[in-house]
Amino acid sequence: MAEYNRVSECVGLITLRNPPVNALSAAVRQGIVDTVQRALSDPNVKSVVICGQNGIFCGGADIKEFRSNMTGPPLIPMIHAIESANKPVVAAIEGSALGGGLELALGCHYRIAHSKARLGLPEVSLGLLPAAGGSQRLPRLIGVPAALNLITTGRHVTAAEALQLGIVDQVTDHNTVAAAVKFALSVAGRSLDPRRISTHPCPQQPDLDALFEEVMQKVRQSARGAIAPIACVQAVRAAATLPYAQGMERERELMATLFTSGQARALQYCFFAERAVGRWRMPSGARWDTSKPRPVHKAAVIGLGTMGRGITVALAQTGLSVIAVETQEKQLMEAKQAISGMLERGAKGRGVAPALDGVIYSQNIQAVADVDLVIEAVFEDIALKTKVFQQLSAVCKPGTLLCTNTSALDVDQLASETPNPELVVGMHFFAPAHVMKLLEVVYGPRSSPQAVATAMQLGKKMGKASVAVGNCRGFVGNRMLKPYIEEAFFLLEEGATPELVDQALEEFGFPMGVFRMSDLSGLDVGWRVRKGDGLVEPGTASGRSARIRQGRRYSPLGDLLCEEGRFGQKTGRGWYQYDKPGSRVARFDPWLHSFLGAYRAQHGLVARRIDHQEVLERCLYALINEGFHILDDGIAAGPEDIDVIYVSGYGWPRHRGGPMFYANMVGLAKVLERLEHYQQLHPEVPHLQPSSLLRRLVASGSPPIHKWGEAIKKLHSQL
């Protein structure tokens, strides 16, 4: 797994071989130990170069090994042996040098990088810290502030930034291995003492205590309960204040805590789940590896409201040419200005030219005649969308894929209004569409595998976490959100406050609790949907019967706030009050609290004490329970799909792995028992009735999450 060759007569060339990313598996580590030993003991070898095969240096430790008994030589002594070598060792970095890969390079005496290479210590995003000396060597090499930034964020830097920071010694546009071999020849015989980073003192930093205090505060705020970023700060502090050997001991202790933590398991699960959702499959048996996407060179967006504008930007930024259609001239001009501004700001951030010429604006739907794919983003009205789809079917060239950005309407119904339903899929973006990571690709029973493959590939090009899901009310994300929000309303009726509910959810790790979130997105959105469903009635009725609608418990609280004109941030009043309409700082609102008191009195409800645990159990288990229904219905192919949707689009804390992973961690039997408990107390709430899949999984011994797929298949075959 590490190949050895002698090149240019006196350079030992070690090539890491472990596709696809040359991860440091046990076999690769053993290969490095053996080949370094061979090079150092060969009197004809004057210097050594380490590189990786297929244009990638090394993607770090093999994450798949973390959950098994680790065998093979450990990384730390291996890197020490390289650093202590009496012949210069040069790292030739192409592609990526990440995590243990960069730590290996930091143990080398010199580093040469290709201009397109990316370097970083992303361990924090896996719930770990760079514990093969990375947390001790990097601050010694580039100083404490820069090392803190890289290690606590896990961000990857370009070769140019790495050169500027002092991580690499040279950047080349040409053959990196050839440049490294030439360099290795030029430094043969030079003293290596100054090149051993572990022997350096950390560069002096004025007012170290104040710096660490400030960084720790910042990290605690943004970590939202994640422990790895905090351990990273502590490890760098050890580098700055202790001799190397003691710093290494501190690094080891901190890593020991992180390595076995539930958070590390959750974050590593997310890493693999994000890759697993790309291997989509449909109930029909169609799959990612047997369905060929159609090429998309030209796309169109119909309707340039908030969503349409964001989608246009996301498409244009991938380099596609986009026809942006809005029938009203004034709206078209406003949209053009807004889209150009977004493209310019985005390009500035990425240091590239804005793709302004990539977008053609038109008032005429005929302009989309020759595009390969259209995304409809007009107002959420089935009659309007049907009309647009019929026009598109008449105008577009044969084979054009027709996508709808609906979040609530029936994709099958829209498809059935077109002569080619196999060409119709949902592409459910989240606002702002050019920023938010998540894309739900919604297929109906007649969507062709090729249409799904094309939408999934386009999502990937746009940098989205794209998840293929079946068609149902709310798809996956919003369908699960409904019971979560309803439980929050019921908790208010029973005595909780918006502040209490939000605090419990924010301490769990959500960036915003349900009520602050509702104020941000607008209370009128849900009101409109509930009106459409015939659930909204005038607010004068009282008593229990007024809170049973369509045969189930219903809380009219949100409707009553809307009747008062309280739509959230945009009106300056909602579940909280704001200094003025549009401002973002939520403040306690005495009006809301007396309103809740009067509401409870009117309905004969007696407020009781509700604690954080009840808030979490009722809101989260109701949401998770719906997730089990979704799996049972085959709307999501596996728990990873649901978890990626929640982590990338709904603010579920990544260090808790997503709702289904969380249920697995809590224990399925415990989730079931608590749902049964609450269902007994609230028999008129159907979403607290445990899903039959959850019951069946518990009855079959609560298999671990990676075995749910198999278990579900088996359980379905027994039905």
Ligand X SMILES: CC/C=C/CC(=O)SCCNC(=O)CCNC(=O)[C@H](O)C(C)(C)COP(=O)(O)OP(=O)(O)OC[C@H]1O[C@@H](n2cnc3c(N)ncnc32)[C@H](O)[C@@H]1OP(=O)(O)O
Residue 709: other Cβ atoms inside 10 A? 15
Among 103, 440, 494, 617, which one carries the catalytic annotation?
103
Minimum CB–partner distance for residue 102 and ligand X (Å): 8
Minimum CB–partner distance for residue 320 and ligand X (Å): 20
In single-letter form, the type of residue at position 581 comes to: P
Using alpha carbons, list the distances in angstroms from residue 57 to 21, 184, 187, 509. 8, 17, 21, 35
Sign of CA dihedral 194, 196, 197, 202: negative
Nearer CB in complex with ligand X: 124/371: 124
Quick one: which of 12, 31, 52, 59 contacts ligand X (CB under 6 A)?
Answer: 59
Task: Reply yes or no on whether 103 is catalytic.
Answer: yes
CA distance 590 to 610: 20
CA distance 615 to 505: 8
Sign of CA dihedral 249, 254, 257, 263: negative
Among 83, 94, 123, 499, which one carries the catalytic annotation?
123
Quick one: which of 10, 63, 382, 431 contacts ligand X (CB under 6 A)?
Answer: 63
The tokens describing 124, both together, are 């924090």
One symbol per residue from 447 to 476: x for binding ligand X (CB under 6 A), - otherwise; what is it? ------------------------------
CA distance 562 to 556: 10
CA distance 694 to 681: 20
Is the separation of the CB atoms in 144 and 57 below 8 Å? no
Choose one: 35-43, 92-100, 441-449, 509-517; the region binding ligand X (CB under 6 A). Answer: 92-100
Nearer CB in complex with ligand X: 60/638: 60
CA distance 287 to 453: 9
Q: Does 638 bind ligand X (CB under 6 A)?
A: no
Alpha helices by DSSP H, 24-167: 26-41, 75-83, 100-107, 134-142, 144-153, 159-165
Choose one: 119-127, 238-246, 335-343, 699-707; the region binding ligand X (CB under 6 A). Answer: 119-127
Nearer CB in complex with ligand X: 23/313: 23
Quick one: which of 99, 229, 653, 690 contacts ligand X (CB under 6 A)?
Answer: 99
Is the separation of the CB atoms in 491 and 515 below 8 Å? no
Choose one: 20-28, 36-44, 216-224, 321-329; the region binding ligand X (CB under 6 A). Answer: 20-28
Quick one: which of 1, 36, 51, 61 contacts ligand X (CB under 6 A)?
Answer: 61
Nearer CB in complex with ligand X: 140/156: 156
Nearer CB in complex with ligand X: 6/155: 155
Task: Reply yes or no on whether 123 is catalytic.
Answer: yes
In single-letter form, the type of residue at position 683 comes to: P
Q: Does 96 bind ligand X (CB under 6 A)?
A: yes
CA distance 485 to 554: 11
Minimum CB–partner distance for residue 116 and ligand X (Å): 12
Residue 226 CB-half CA count within 13 A: 32
Nearer CB in complex with ligand X: 121/392: 121
Residue 178 CB partners (closer than 8 Å, separation 6+): none
Q: Does 127 bind ligand X (CB under 6 A)?
A: no
Q: Does 387 bind ligand X (CB under 6 A)?
A: no
Minimum CB–partner distance for residue 145 and ligand X (Å): 23
One symbol per residue from 166 to 205: x for binding ligand X (CB under 6 A), - otherwise; what is it? ----------------------------------------
One symbol per residue from 216 to 255: x for binding ligand X (CB under 6 A), - otherwise; what is it? ----------------------------------------
Tell the residue number behind the tokens 């697993």, with chain if given.
Answer: 276
Q: Does 62 bind ligand X (CB under 6 A)?
A: yes
What 3-state class would DSSP assign to 551?
coil
- Among candidate residues 19, 125, 132, the one with its CA nearest the CA of residue 73: 132
User: Rounded to 5 degrees, what are φ and ψ at 520?
Assistant: -70, -45
Residues near ligand X, by CB under 6 A: 20-21, 23, 59-64, 96, 98-100, 122-123, 126, 128, 131-132, 272, 275
| Active-site amino acid positions | 103, 123
